[in-house]
């Protein structure tokens, strides 16, 4: 989005949103509401989409899933309309995260795949890696551990190659934890101990205490898995000291859930309930019933293990009620997804038609309508690049200009339709020649054509030019009004050389035209080459 194109007041609002991101949610939402009002009054989809997106992002950090979902869905249409594909990809990615947390892995997968498709279509590798990381989390949640590792490793490779990106340590921590959790599930001890070492050396020294909480959870599980009880207890104590209700639940839930599962299995019930209360409080603030239900399963297991039958029954009833609520919630999600998918498909079809039309118009603007060959506009563009390439690579280039001998007499006597057919005949011969790599042909105007040879030797250029002349001559197209023959022939002038920084297309074309003029004065159906590499 080009911020500089807006008024000073709008620029300040956007600045406030960016300045307060992750710091002052109230200020962000207030600025977004003002920006949204401006956008709607101006019918500006870029402002509308950005305001909705920023509000959605803020509600995500506030663990407010309901408001997040409505705002992020609202941003999609406007952002797609103005082709802000980076925002569209990120929005789909975040919707995938929330859908996964709401217990709907198929919808999450749909969002993630759509986000990756957008990234691939519009070359957005700086966003795509994050989606692979989240796909890793999805597959981890459904027990596809090898697939989880594969996607997470894609994100890992990207980070290793781009260490200067924002929040590198936080992102690397999340990736390592994702792989570590999968290695624990697969009981790959060597690999999860390697992850522990990486986290300890590469991440922890650069993180604040609050952000280390998920690492502590992982370390406790690692040492419990290898039977180091004292070390595990140390990290459990670190979790107890640093866990709080200000943690971003959507970012820590899975790590904390696995940690609670470990405490329950190890019968560390006091630590289990201490951590459970914190996570339960955070979960209830999200209004995501799937997280509440998932957490409740741990409490039900606890009641069953310690034989607290009444509490077990009460918790089971609550579990049933949460499941019913989720059914209604999922129906709403289905409805939203259908609307979004149809909208996206319609927009994709519109964009494809626009792109096809633009391609057609571009091709028409650089193509000669009579012959279908490239025209002078394309010749100018191509020749400039060809000269730059030859100069940079110290390779040869040759420019040929040719015309039909006594074409005026042909056109005047056989008629304009026959004249057009003659021009198309020459064009067809040239197009056959230009099918070879390194040869470009264009109609220059009237009965004149230009050929560019790239990287050919003098002898190869001469041979190709003679081959063209012979093909035309041997086709025996009648020309009774030629003053030198009874069939259509051509004359050719060529300038061959290795460009210097002072050379350009005009100079080579001018020299080729001089050669053609000399051919016309001395004879017809012939060629003459100026060799710029020698003193002629």
User: Each residue of 413-455: pLDDT tens digit?
Assistant: 999 899 999 999 999 999 888 887 889 999 888 899 999 999 9
- pLDDT for the residue 343: 47
- pLDDT for the residue 361: 45
**Helix crossing, 125-141 with 145-161: angle to 10°?**
160
Task: Summarize pLDDT for 204-230 with one digit per residue, the tens.
Answer: 999 888 789 999 999 999 999 999 999
Same domain, 381 and 243: no
Same domain, 309 and 426: no
- pLDDT for the residue 149: 94
Mean pLDDT across the stretch 292-321?
85
Is 397 inside a domain boundary?
yes
Domain stop point among 326, 361, 388: 326
- Note whether 254 and 137 are within 8 A (CB): yes
Task: Summarize pLDDT for 297-310 with one digit per residue, the tens.
Answer: 888 888 888 888 88
Q: Looking at per-residue confidence, does 325 or 135 come out higher?
A: 135
> Residue 324's pLDDT band (boundaries 50, 70, 90)?
low
> Considering the chain, what percentage of its residues have pLDDT values greater than 70?
90
User: Phi-psi bin for 296: left (phi > 0), alpha (psi -120 to 50), beta?
Assistant: alpha
**Residue 165 φ then ψ, to 5°:** -70, 160
Same domain, 394 and 497: yes
Same domain, 271 and 388: no
**Least confident stretch, 193-202, 206-215, 334-343:** 334-343
Q: Looking at per-residue confidence, does 442 or 282 come out higher?
A: 442
112 vs 98: CA distance, rounded Å = 11
**Least confident stretch, 193-207, 326-340, 408-422, 513-527:** 326-340
* pLDDT at residue 341 is higher than 50: no
Same domain, 403 and 468: yes
Same domain, 216 and 320: yes
Is 42 inside a domain boundary?
no
- pLDDT for the residue 347: 47
Mean pLDDT across the stretch 68-93?
90
- pLDDT for the residue 535: 57
**Least confident stretch, 143-157, 307-321, 383-397, 467-481:** 307-321
Q: How many domains does the chain have?
A: 2
Is 312 inside a domain boundary?
yes
* pLDDT at residue 246 is higher than 90: no
Spatial CB neighbours of 299, under 8 Å, sequence gap ≥ 6: 276, 315
* pLDDT at residue 346 is higher than 60: no
Q: What is the CATH number of the domain that holds 384?
A: 3.30.70.270
The pTM of the whole model exceeds 0.85: no
Count of Cβ atoms closer than 10 Å to residue 125 Cβ? 11
* Residue ranges making up the domain that contains 256: 208-326
Q: Looking at per-residue confidence, does 277 or 523 come out higher?
A: 277
Selection from 497, 266, 471, 464 nearest residue 395 by Cα: 497
Task: Summarize pLDDT for 32-64 with one digit per residue, the tens.
Answer: 999 999 999 998 999 999 999 999 999 888 867
Count of Cβ atoms closer than 10 Å to residue 530 Cβ? 19
Same domain, 392 and 504: yes
**Least confident stretch, 187-196, 311-320, 441-450, 469-478:** 311-320
Same domain, 313 and 460: no
Is 154 inside a domain boundary?
no
Same domain, 314 and 380: no
Is 320 inside a domain boundary?
yes
Same domain, 495 and 411: yes
* pLDDT at residue 247 is higher than 90: no
341 vs 392: CA distance, rounded Å = 48
Q: What is the average pLDDT value for the chain, to the nearest integer?
A: 86
- pLDDT for the residue 311: 86
Is 2 inside a domain boundary?
no
Domain stop point among 265, 296, 326: 326
Q: Looking at per-residue confidence, does 350 or 425 come out higher?
A: 425
Same domain, 398 and 314: no
Mean pLDDT across the stretch 457-482?
93
**Least confident stretch, 103-117, 318-332, 384-398, 409-423:** 318-332
Is 185 inside a domain boundary?
no
Task: Summarize pLDDT for 104-163 with one digit per residue, the tens.
Answer: 788 889 899 999 999 998 999 999 999 999 999 999 988 899 999 999 999 999 999 999
Q: How many CA atoms lie within 13 A of 420 on its CB side?
A: 7
Q: For the residues of 141-179, what is the DSSP string, one character each?
A: HTT-HHHHHHHHHHHHHHHHH-TTSTTHHHHHHHHHHHH
- pLDDT for the residue 366: 65
Give the three-state DSSP class for 496. strand
* pLDDT at residue 387 is higher than 60: yes
CA 39, distance to chain mean position in Å, is 27
Task: Summarize pLDDT for 478-503 with one digit per residue, the tens.
Answer: 999 998 899 999 999 999 999 888 77
Is 106 inside a domain boundary?
no
Write out the H or E segment, with its range, that includes residue 95. helix 85-101
375 vs 444: CA distance, rounded Å = 6
- pLDDT for the residue 450: 94
Same domain, 321 and 394: no
Domain stop point among 264, 291, 326: 326
> Residue 379's pLDDT band (boundaries 50, 70, 90)?
confident
């Amino acid at each position: 989005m080009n911020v500089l194109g807006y008024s000073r007041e709008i620029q300040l609002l956007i600045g406030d949103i960016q300045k307060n991101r992750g710091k002052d949610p109230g200020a962000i939402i207030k600025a977004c509401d003002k920006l949204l009002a401006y956008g709607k009054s101006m019918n500006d989809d870029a402002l509308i989409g950005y305001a909705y997106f920023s509000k959605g992002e803020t509600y995500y950090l506030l663990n407010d899933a309901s408001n997040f979902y409505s705002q992020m869905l609202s941003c999609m249409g406007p952002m797609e309309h103005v082709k802000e594909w980076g925002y569209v990809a990120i929005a789909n990615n975040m919707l995938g995260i929330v859908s996964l947390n709401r217990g709907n892995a198929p919808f999450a997968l749909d969002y993630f795949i759509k986000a990756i498709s957008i990234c691939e279509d519009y070359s957005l590798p700086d966003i795509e890696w994050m989606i692979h990381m989240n796909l890793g989390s999805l597959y981890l949640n459904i027990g596809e551990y090898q697939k989880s590792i594969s996607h997470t490793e894609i994100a890992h490779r990207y980070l290793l190659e781009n260490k200067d990106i924002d929040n590198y340590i936080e992102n690397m921590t999340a990736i390592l934890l994702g792989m570590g959790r999968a290695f624990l599930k697969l009981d790959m001890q060597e690999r999860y101990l390697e992850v522990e070492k990486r986290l300890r050396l590469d991440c922890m020294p650069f993180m604040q205490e609050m952000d280390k909480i998920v690492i502590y959870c992982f370390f406790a599980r690692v040492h419990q898995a290898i039977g180091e009880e004292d070390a595990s207890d140390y990290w459990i104590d670190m979790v107890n000291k640093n866990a709080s209700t200000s943690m971003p639940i959507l970012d820590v839930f899975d790590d904390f859930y696995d940690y609670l599962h470990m405490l329950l299995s190890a019968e560390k019930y006091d630590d289990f309930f201490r951590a459970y209360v914190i996570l339960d409080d955070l979960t209830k603030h999200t209004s995501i019933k799937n997280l509440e239900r998932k957490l409740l399963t741990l409490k039900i297991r606890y009641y069953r293990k310690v034989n607290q039958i009444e509490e077990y029954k009460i918790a089971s009833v609550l579990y049933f009620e949460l499941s019913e609520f989720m059914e209604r919630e999922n129906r709403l999600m289905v409805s939203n997804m259908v609307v979004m998918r149809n909208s996206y498909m319609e927009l994709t079809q519109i964009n494809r038609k626009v792109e096809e039309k633009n391609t057609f118009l571009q091709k028409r603007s650089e193509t000669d309508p009579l012959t279908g060959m490239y025209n002078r506009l394309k010749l100018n563009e191509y020749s400039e690049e060809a000269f730059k390439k030859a100069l940079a690579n110290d390779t040869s280039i040759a420019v040929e200009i040719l015309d039909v001998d006594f074409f005026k007499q042909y056109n005047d006597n056989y008629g304009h339709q026959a004249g057009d057919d003659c021009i198309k005949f020459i064009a067809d011969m040239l197009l056959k020649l230009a099918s070879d790599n390194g040869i470009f042909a264009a109609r220059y105007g009237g009965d004149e054509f230009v050929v560019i040879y790239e990287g050919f030797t003098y002898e190869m250029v001469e041979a190709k030019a003679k081959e063209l002349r012979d093909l035309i001559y041997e086709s025996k197209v009648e020309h009774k009004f030629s003053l030198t023959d009874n069939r259509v022939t051509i004359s050719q002038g060529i300038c061959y050389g290795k460009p210097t920084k002072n050379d350009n297309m005009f100079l080579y074309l001018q020299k080729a035209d001089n050669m053609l003029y000399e051919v016309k004065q001395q004879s017809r159906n012939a060629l003459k080459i100026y060799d710029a590499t020698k003193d002629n």
